[in-house]
């Protein structure tokens, strides 16, 4: 198998090609750039988001309206918060077909989410020392749902359903209006079905600021955590407020990767390869294959497919700027590269598919075999489609019920338990020079009549007090 390195292969699409067997510096640099791409926006975007956040923190609702007037995403009336009554009314206007699709999507996501509900546990360390790991749902969360050029009621389902399963008391959704200032009726209805408490009509950094700081002048209280995908401005704003409220993770452009060999159908591979690129012009689409003939056939099929798709201009730009074909000398090298890249979405279509899947350990969501399109996971399988991007799948997982609560530790200790560990506490505290820590244990074993300078060992025996300088 022979393939050009970082060059066109005769296709007008001009998908750039990389050969993992190549040893030149240019190829090595291109591979590093792909793998270590990151999900955090550039410094200028973060600075811009920081400025908008400060304006919202100080100016409240008026600042959000000004930002929306400048950047888009607001209603012409300036209305910011849609209350539950209006959301409920939108449910009644749904067609039967759309209502049925929403209901199935919600039911499937809920079914999978219910398997994730964390449990509170208790562990006895030694007799008399018990630690409870208590899981508690968050009180109030904000779910960001992208909008503007395209509505995403599916993202509302993916963020709100696990919050409801977790037992979150209040859920606020933020989503921008479209270019004409309208909010998608299906998104409104999905919010109504899920009994969202309020919907903030705003996007970008100003929406994140409103969720994090609250809008007292619009009746919107701050949230405890913000989740959901968004553009670079949303991601930058989430990073900036993460010291004040919790966030799920920073999310970059949607990513799609297909791992395929000579047994794969190029028509299906092409269909899967362009799926996530449809989200935006900065979305990577990468084919990793051991077969040059498959690569050529996939490129030809994409050329045939593009004219039939509504978002053709977005797809062409994404594929031209971020489309890649990566050749591997064998499946082992292909799998190693996929793990190193850690894609958000990974379709796997090879001869021994389960053996390959068993070795793929760094992807947000895997789609196994020719009957598993990524769009099935986006809408209907029940798996969450809010996933780590930018290589964060090496260390982070999909949005889940656990994101909507937190653990606390409850430590129960009786006298016998403290006696069993007191010497360790005393010794460690002394070694660190933290005598107040040591004294908190020793004070519990002093009899009321004992001298303030006397110590009691865990066995209950008196021992000389430390030197005054240690106190």
Kindly report the number of other CB atoms within 10 A of residue 313's CB atom: 11
Residue 456 phi, psi dihedral angles, 5° rounding: -115, 130
Bridge partners (DSSP) listed for residue 81: 200
What would the two tokens of residue 308 be?
């039939």
Residues whose CB falls within 8 Å of the CB of residue 95, separated by 6 or more in sequence, listed in order: none
Task: Classify residue 181 as left (phi > 0), alpha (psi -120 to 50) or beta.
Answer: left
List, as one string, the DSSP characters of 362-410: --SEEEESTT--HHHHHHTSSS------TTGGGT-----GGGGEEEEEE
Place of tokens 């300078």: 453
9, 325 Cβ separation under 8 angstroms: yes
Active site residues: 344-345
127, 138 Cβ separation under 8 angstroms: no
Please tell me whether residue 133 adopts helix, strand or coil conformation: strand
**Spatial distance between the Cα atoms of 18 and 10, rounded to a whole number of angstroms:** 15
Count the residues in the chain.
471
What would the two tokens of residue 282 be?
């900065």
- DSSP-derived secondary structure letter, 445: G
Residues whose CB falls within 8 Å of the CB of residue 74, separated by 6 or more in sequence, listed in order: 64, 65, 68, 80, 176, 177, 181, 201, 202
**Spatial distance between the Cα atoms of 236 and 39, rounded to a whole number of angstroms:** 10
What would the two tokens of residue 198 be?
């309020």
Bridge partners (DSSP) listed for residue 463: 455
- DSSP-derived secondary structure letter, 433: T
Place of tokens 């656990």: 402
């Amino acid at each position: 198998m022979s393939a050009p390195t970082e060059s066109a292969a005769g296709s007008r699409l001009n998908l750039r090609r990389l050969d993992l067997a190549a040893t030149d510096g240019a190829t090595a640099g291109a591979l590093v750039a792909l793998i270590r791409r990151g999900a955090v926006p550039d410094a200028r975007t973060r600075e811009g988001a920081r400025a908008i956040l400060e304006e919202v923190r100080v100016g409240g609702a008026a600042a959000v309206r000004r930002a929306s007037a400048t950047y888009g995403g607001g209603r012409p009336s300036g209305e910011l918060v849609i209350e539950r009554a209006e959301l409920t009314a939108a449910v009644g206007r749904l067609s039967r077909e759309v209502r049925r699709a929403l209901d199935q999507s919600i039911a499937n996501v809920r079914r999978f989410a219910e398997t994730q509900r964390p449990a509170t546990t208790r562990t006895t360390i030694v007799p008399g020392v018990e630690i409870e790991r208590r899981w508690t749902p968050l009180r109030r969360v904000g779910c960001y749902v992208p909008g503007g050029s395209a509505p995403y009621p599916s993202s509302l389902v993916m963020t709100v359903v696990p919050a409801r399963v977790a037992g979150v008391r209040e859920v606020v959704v933020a989503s921008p209006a479209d270019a004409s200032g309208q909010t998608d009726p299906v998104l409104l209805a999905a919010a109504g079905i899920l009994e969202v408490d309020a919907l903030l009509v705003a996007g970008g950094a100003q929406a994140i600021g409103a969720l994090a700081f609250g809008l007292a002048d619009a009746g919107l209280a701050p949230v405890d955590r913000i989740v959901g995908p968004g553009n670079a401005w949303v991601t930058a704003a989430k990073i900036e407020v993460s010291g004040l409220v919790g966030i799920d993770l920073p999310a970059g452009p949607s990513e799609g990767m297909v791992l395929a060999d000579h047994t794969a159908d190029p028509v299906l591979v092409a269909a899967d390869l362009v799926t996530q690129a449809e989200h935006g012009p900065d979305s990577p689409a990468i084919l990793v294959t051991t077969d040059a003939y498959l690569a050529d056939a996939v490129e030809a099929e994409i050329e045939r497919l593009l004219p039939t798709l509504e978002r053709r201009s977005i797809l062409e730009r994404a594929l031209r700027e971020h489309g890649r074909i990566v050749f591997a000398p064998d499946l082992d090298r292909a799998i190693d590269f996929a793990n190193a890249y850690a894609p958000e979405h990974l379709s796997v279509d090879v001869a021994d598919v389960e053996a390959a899947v068993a070795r793929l350990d760094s992807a947000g969501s895997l789609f196994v075999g020719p009957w598993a399109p990524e769009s099935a996971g986006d809408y209907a399988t029940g798996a969450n489609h809010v996933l780590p991007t930018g290589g964060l799948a090496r260390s982070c997982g999909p949005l889940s019920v656990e994101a909507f609560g937190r653990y606390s530790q409850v430590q129960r200790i009786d006298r016998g338990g403290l006696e069993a560990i007191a010497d360790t506490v005393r010794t460690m505290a002394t070694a660190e020079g933290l005598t107040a820590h040591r004294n908190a244990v020793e004070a519990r074993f002093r009899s009321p009549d004992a001298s303030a300078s006397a110590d009691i060992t865990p066995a209950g025996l008196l021992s000389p007090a430390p030197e005054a300088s240690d106190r």
